[in-house]
Structure 1
């Protein structure tokens, strides 16, 4: 009977991977060593940590068989308020490893040290959209110190737009290409979407937040506001303006126009969150600098076999830009 229950528990843990396991103390020690040691060697999946502005960032490193960091790494950024252990991301890391690609899936801190799991909506939001590009940059700098010679950036949803933001405004010669999965647009944070999602108008909240920011009181906390995946939460005025101030830098099509490196956008054909992305990108997709792959029937998180389709599209793209060949 005991073994039967263990099998059930194992199956549940596979079916619902969004709940992170309790970290093993030994693994935490290994992760710490990996995070600070430049000479470390990896042979399997490891949590790595990185000191950053008084916080500790963490990521999951999946090193492909017979590969070193010098051979290249796909750096993966999750969607808004999410985390590196989302089903799509863990599955893609597994697929990449089987296809001989190493990957590093990061957790954005969102202002919290050593953050794991979904952001708790009970915690006041003090993070900014622009924080993401700085943290992506910190991880790229870390990879460079570890000897990585090339990096492909991959982002999903809001993480896709934030990945594009990093390359458009900061960048690093180590970055060779981008893959954006259902990247967010300004439609996700406009007035119509806000009203539909939270049943309250955006304009008065945004006006209040902007006045506070303009008067130097951006740290003032706004109560009972909707923000990203949180329907009733608290957030500073600065945070609210960062995500809902109608800044074009929140819009992936706007940012993609500025990118000069090979970029693949994977569009979910039945996306319920990012709607009409294929039409917005069609004029930009030249088949060289920007390539677009529409996966018909896929929802925003590419569940089930649609994740395999996404992995196939990414693999084809990487081979087309010679990323699959040994680094020199």
Structure 2
């Protein structure tokens, strides 16, 4: 992070806390669901001038701290933004996903919902769209961009995007829940193979939720070994400029800089490492992100 004096820190912190951008709630129909999002437009700006489509992380929502904070800062920079709520299988979903609710959602659902929101933005006249994702949402954004080369999509910004390694997932699951992942996965996989993917696995540990209820299909989708869940492996497949942002104090997505650095050519793939930032890039680190996003957009023209 660049050095700023105490007075500047105080002013910006106050702005983030009390100067929230005016947001317009947007709702759209998708299959049998109502999807929600928050649209923030810069003063005197229109969507035709460009917009950032923002995807949140695991079991979160479009107004979680990093998403809301970025929307406020983007408005200061004159950048429009749409922060979506992934449905996670629930209609009209708001706020964090409740672990007491039954999990029927899939990691891959987000890819289709991103496509839906991109098309919605195009219907509103936007054809200069920057796709931004954080954490798991970073992987889902990259997955979409790697598979769908939409002309309206101009750049991709991945903030601390998910990486994937099956051995690490097994180890992490065991350490978090003191339970082996593989036997549960094998049971769920057999159910899916028999056409019983909607079978509910009760008292099961899943993602960040302990002792919850999850469908066999959902469990398999989140935990099966799929190389597309590993964001660095997708970067060369994306036919758009990609900016990857990492924090030196990120203890959630560890080793991102090491993985991405060999892939970053400074043109198609750029890597920005923000000194001192953790996984959530709080407060002034949001301005470091906005600086990089602004530079990426400016480089387009």
Please give the per-residue CA displacement for 1:60-102, whole angstroms capped at 9, x wherever unaligned.
0001111111111100000010001111111100111111110
Tell me the equivalent position of 1:212.
191
CA contact (8 A) 2:73 2:286 kept: no
1:74 match: secondary structure: strand
2:204 match: secondary structure: strand
- What are the within-5 Å matches in structure 2 for residues 141-180 of structure 1? 141-180=119-158
Higher RCO (C-alpha 8 Å, min separation 6): 2
- What are the within-5 Å matches in structure 2 for residues 38-53 of structure 1? 44-53=22-31
Write the distance in 2 (CA, Å) between the matches of 1:155 and 1:185.
13
Calculate the TM-score normalised by the size of structure 1.
Answer: 0.83
- What are the within-5 Å matches in structure 2 for residues 234-245 of structure 1? 234-245=213-224
Write the distance in 2 (CA, Å) between the matches of 1:148 and 1:308.
24
Uncovered stretches (5+) of structure 1, i.e. residues with no partner: 1-10, 18-42, 323-328
Write the distance in 1 (CA, Å) between the matches of 2:224 and 2:141.
19
Tell me the equivalent position of 2:115.
137
Please give the per-residue CA displacement for 1:97-133, whole angstroms capped at 9, x wherever unaligned.
1111100000000000110000011111101111101
CA contact (8 A) 1:243 1:250 kept: no
2:120 match: secondary structure: helix
Task: Give the one of 157, 160, 181 matched to 1:202.
Answer: 181
Q: Could you tell me how far 1:14 is from its partner in structure 2?
A: 4.8
Aligned residues: CA RMSD: 1.9
Is the counterpart of residue 285 in structure 1 residue 235 in structure 2?
no
Uncovered stretches (5+) of structure 2, i.e. residues with no partner: 1-13
- What are the within-5 Å matches in structure 2 for residues 186-265 of structure 1? 186-187=164-165, 190-265=169-244
1:196 match: secondary structure: helix
Tell me the equivalent position of 1:315.
294
Tell me the equivalent position of 1:8.
none
Q: Could you tell me how far 1:167 is from its partner in structure 2?
A: 1.0
Q: Could you tell me how far 1:250 is from its partner in structure 2?
A: 1.1
Corresponding residue pairs, total: 285
Tell me the equivalent position of 1:295.
274
Q: Could you tell me how far 1:145 is from its partner in structure 2?
A: 0.9
Write the distance in 2 (CA, Å) between the matches of 1:44 and 1:67.
13
